[in-house]
Amino acid sequence: MSAKIAPLNNIAHKDIKVKNTLSFDHAKSQHLSLVVVHEFAKVAIDCPVVFVKDPESGQFRSVAMLGLEPNENLFYSRSKWKGTYIPANLRAYPFALAGDENSDQLALCIDENSKLINKKDGEALFNEDGSETEFLNSRKNFLSQLVEQNQTTKQFIKFLTDNELLAPQSLSLKLEDGSGHDLNGIYVINEKKLNELSDDVYLDIRKRGYMAPIYSQLSSMNQLQNLGQLKVAAKKIADKKKA
């Protein structure tokens, strides 16, 4: 079912409740998830952080690799998320702030087709008098913070591109079961160029606080093997079900 994003209001959605869940069903076919620079260190514990180009704008975006191919999320399960950290972009669902991120005109929206929405179980969005519940207010604050962090991430990525520190990377991963996967269309920080930067640029990186996320991205590439192990495990489970 496709998403139906609508501005939230206390009339049309006065009886709506949102279920709390650990399964993140909406992301089960999502092999990439947007992440902000503030998350790099936490994401790097589980999976690679890479950069991809938006096909429409041509702008780079930082993402967590959740699978080795499209429509595959190796961290998804019906019972709970398999990783140690869940990207904020996924935790925000079914809410979103829609509009021009460069202005103050952002509207709080909700996916009306979400399976998390019902009128019986979960967290209420509005009180009987139409005022926002504490739960909804916390969601708004969470999303507002995420928008601010996204702006910081854009500045970080601009710094990387301005200094030609992003490079395309093609990877070939061989799994324990003998199968192989070629990964294309991703970009990573070029460690060689990073080490060749002038002292002035290095000092600028330190002043901006960019050193930690840079090395988090570089170290996160070691988690490709983790994705491979999850892939093999998922295949074994699928084979058992077929038998």
Q: How far apart are CA 181 and CA 194, in angstroms?
A: 28
Measured distance CA(156)–CA(204) in Å, rounded:
12
- DSSP state letters, 67-104: -SSTT--TT--SSS-SSS---HHHHTTTEEEEE-TTSS
Residues 215, 32, 5, CA angle at the centre, nearest 5°? Answer: 125
Cα–Cα dist 161/229, whole Å: 32
Which residues in 99-111 are b (16+ Cβ under 10 Å) and which e? Answer: eeeeeeebebbbb
Give CA–CA dist 103/214, Å, rounded.
Answer: 28
pLDDT for 195 equals 95
| Mean pLDDT value across residues 31-44 | 98
Give the Cα separation of 44 and 47 in Å (integer).
Answer: 5
The encoded tokens of residue 28 equal 């089960």
- The least confident of 64-73, 141-150, 172-181 is 172-181
pLDDT tens digits, residue range 56-110?
Answer: 888 999 999 999 999 999 999 888 899 999 999 999 999 998 875 555 678 999 9
The answer on pLDDT for 187 being more than 60 is yes
- At residue 104, the pLDDT reads 61
Mean pLDDT of 212-223: 97
Position 150: which residue type? N
Per-residue pLDDT, 243: 59
**For residue 238, pLDDT beyond 80:** no
pLDDT at 181: 80
pLDDT of residue 176: 76
Give yes or no for a contact between 15 and 186, defined as CB atoms under 8 angstroms apart: no
How far apart (Å, rounded) are the C-alpha atoms in residues 49 and 37?
10
Q: pTM value?
A: 0.91
Answer yes or no: are the C-beta atoms of 24 and 85 closer than 8 Å: no
